Structure 1
Amino acid sequence: MELFQTTNFIAVLIVLVSLSTLIYLAIRTIITDKHFQTGITLYQQKDFPGAEAAFRQVIAINSTNDVVHLLLGDALMQQGKIEAAITEFQDVIERAPKKVDAYLRLAQALMQQQKPQQAVTVLQQAEALFQKQRQVDKAEKIQQLLQKISSAENNA
């Protein structure tokens, strides 16, 4: 009888721990989603400092969300905080080297900093990724952009 009660106690304990974990994760997800939606809304309203704050709150809860890092970088770019945006884009590239959006945003930031050679290198990496992903049309657009940059540099 004592073994049966111990087994029941352990089973109940496991169920309670599991439920507690699920509740915690659900609440965390709801809070994260609320901050994310707030960030998106503020960004669309062109309240970039507010969007930055909301995206930073999401990152504080879940630092591995690459989309939020990209959006934070965009909000930083809109505020002229190019170095901080570059850091966000580079962090995404480090964590997810196949995420082409990070390369494209990084190249844009580098062009704003008047660093066309570095931007070209990043765009070439993006083009190679598009080729590997069999997104030939996007790779061609990058190639056209690279040609325009090269022409502009030659004419300068």
Structure 2
Amino acid sequence: MLETFPISSIIATSIVAISLAILGYFAWKTLATSDLFQEGVNLYQAKDYQGAEAAFRKVISLNSTNDVVRLFLGDVLNQQGQVQEATELFCEVIRRSPKNPDAYLRLANVLMQQEKQEEAKNNLLQAKELLQKQRQPEKAQKITHLLEKMSAKSTGY
């Protein structure tokens, strides 16, 4: 029994050390991603769209599952006139996370810029429905007002 104690102790210590190393790696990766994301947001707010694009693309390369970063990248691309790529990003987020109302709102915005009113309305209705289900009535009400304005504008009233 005494002979197995040191081996089991070494194994337990090794498992703990490996676990701590893995945890440390993920903590570092999260911190690096967070810093890059904040840098991208700051650059976007400063209207340095190329810098923001680079930062957001780097965040995506570190964390490919972050849909919020994809939405920001789509906004940046839209600001730079890269509407098709922005549209593709918003559609990708919708495919990956169909209950994300922000993706529908951003896609609707791009579609309105392209004067695709019916497609934009469909996306606004989807966002409104999701916001209602997610118990965000104030945001849903804003979309209702926007839809009413769009309808009034299209009918000439």
> TM-score normalised to the size of structure 2?
0.91
One-letter amino acid of the counterpart of residue 75, structure 2? D
> In the comparison of the two structures, how many residue pairs are matched?
155
In structure 1, distance between residues paired with 2:20 and 2:146: 53
One-letter amino acid of the counterpart of residue 128, structure 1? E
SS of the residue 1:114 aligns to: coil
One-letter amino acid of the counterpart of residue 11, structure 2? I
In structure 2, distance between residues paired with 1:67 and 1:104: 13
| Aligned counterpart, 2:61 | 60
In structure 1, distance between residues paired with 2:138 and 2:27: 40
User: How far off is 1:2 after superposition?
Assistant: 2.6
2:44 counterpart of 1:43: yes
Percent sequence identity over aligned pairs: 53
Change (3 A) 1:25 1:46: same
Residues 26-83 of structure 1: CA distance to partner in whole angstroms, max 9, x if unpaired?
2211211221121111111100011011001001111111211111111111101111
| Aligned counterpart, 1:133 | 134
One-letter amino acid of the counterpart of residue 41, structure 1? N
> TM-score normalised to the size of structure 1?
0.91
In structure 2, distance between residues paired with 1:110 and 1:128: 19
SS of the residue 1:127 aligns to: helix
Where does the alignment leave 5 or more consecutive residues of structure 1 unmatched? none
In structure 2, distance between residues paired with 1:37 and 1:137: 27
Residues 58-115 of structure 1: CA distance to partner in whole angstroms, max 9, x if unpaired?
0111111121111111111110111111122122222222221111111001111221
| Aligned counterpart, 1:90 | 91
**Which stretches of structure 1, 4 residues or more, deviate above 4 A after TM superposition?**
none
User: How far off is 1:140 after superposition?
Assistant: 2.4
| Aligned counterpart, 1:100 | 101
| Aligned counterpart, 2:73 | 72
Residues 126-151 of structure 1: CA distance to partner in whole angstroms, max 9, x if unpaired?
11112222333322221221122222
User: How far off is 1:119 after superposition?
Assistant: 0.4
126-135 or 36-45, which deviates more: 126-135
